[in-house]
Amino acid sequence: MAEHAAGMAGKNVLVTGGTGGIGKATAMELARRGARVGIVGRDAARAEAAARDIRAQAGTSVDVFAADMSSQADVRRLAAQVLDAYPHLDVLVNNVGGYWGKRHTTVDNLERTFAINHLASFLLTNLLLDRLKASAPARVVTVSSGAQSLGRLNFDDLQGERKYSGQRAYNQSKLANVMFTYELARRLEGTGVTATVLHPGVTRTNFGAEDRSRWFAFMNRLGQPFMKSPDQGASTSIYLASSPDVDGVTGRYFANRKAKKANKASYDTEAAARLWRVSAGLVGLPT
């Protein structure tokens, strides 16, 4: 990755879920390339420790933002802090995500998987959109998963109130990431801000550790020897955030740094527009 060592000099980048795993590896490499990086984490002490590690290895400025992305009030406070800190914002990496085997609700009384994996990024991106447009060319990079291919949006039960399955909720949220990105790209056409989405590959992290279903825990143990390292898992995020190869590329899904076809359902423009309206209503934005 050293070939672009100074390629991000002068750029401001925000990485949510940046205190460990793929997020931290993404922030580390972008900082090594010269970017001023801000990392978002729920636990302030852990975020500070990650920032110290990145500063020590990259030798660049790293900002810490503590926010619980399951709380819309925290996401709004985070956005205000980011706008105060960065007169220009060149890249937003929506990396935060999680998996919960049982149904949990947030402080906003929303199902946690949908709230964190989709609505948090939806809200934060919208709150930062004017700054991104003013900083164009700029990029929004959202981390989805190969699980999007199994996803189905159930508009009659998006919150899993009638019937909940951790895997189904996760698949749905990852499809929502792709549909959000495609709709965002359509809305940003002509602004100089691009929106891309990616599958990082199955990676060795603490993902899902808070509440793993037995199936998830079993599959995780089984697959450990074949999983990517966090550095390898971050490769496509880094590529989409920094590479000149994707200048102007928008509304595309990537895996292994290559554009791929996503779930057929993700190309349904009416469903994507409906998801945008529903999401806006759930986070208190104009629909």
Domain membership flag for residue 242:
yes
Domain membership flag for residue 78:
no
pLDDT of res. 111: 98
Tokens for 234, please give them.
């971050």
Domain membership flag for residue 197:
yes
Among residues 86, 99, 170, 253, the one annotated as catalytic is 170
Q: Which residue range forms the structural domain that includes residue 231?
A: 87-283
Strand, helix or coil at 259?
A: strand
pLDDT of res. 201: 87
pLDDT of res. 211: 52
pLDDT of res. 2: 42
pLDDT of res. 7: 87
Gap between the terminal Cα atoms of the chain: 41
pLDDT of res. 207: 46
Tokens for 142, please give them.
């959202």
- Between β-strands 193-199 and 12-16, what pairing exists: parallel, antiparallel or unpaired? unpaired
pLDDT of res. 202: 74
Domain membership flag for residue 175:
yes
Helices 21-32 and 44-58: angle between axes, nearest 10 degrees = 30
CATH classification at residue 251: 3.40.50.720
pTM for this model (two decimals): 0.91
- Name residues of the chain where pLDDT drops below 50: 1-4, 204-205, 207-209, 212, 219-220, 222-225
Domain membership flag for residue 129:
yes
Domain membership flag for residue 31:
no
Question: Where would I find the beta strands (DSSP E) of 152-267?
Answer: 193-199, 252-255, 258-260
Domain membership flag for residue 119:
yes
Domain membership flag for residue 161:
yes
Contact 171, 97 (CB under 8 A): no
The total domain count for the chain is 1
Note if 267 is an active site residue. Answer: no
Return d(Cα 111, Cα 100) in angstroms, integer. 10
Return d(Cα 122, Cα 49) in angstroms, integer. 27
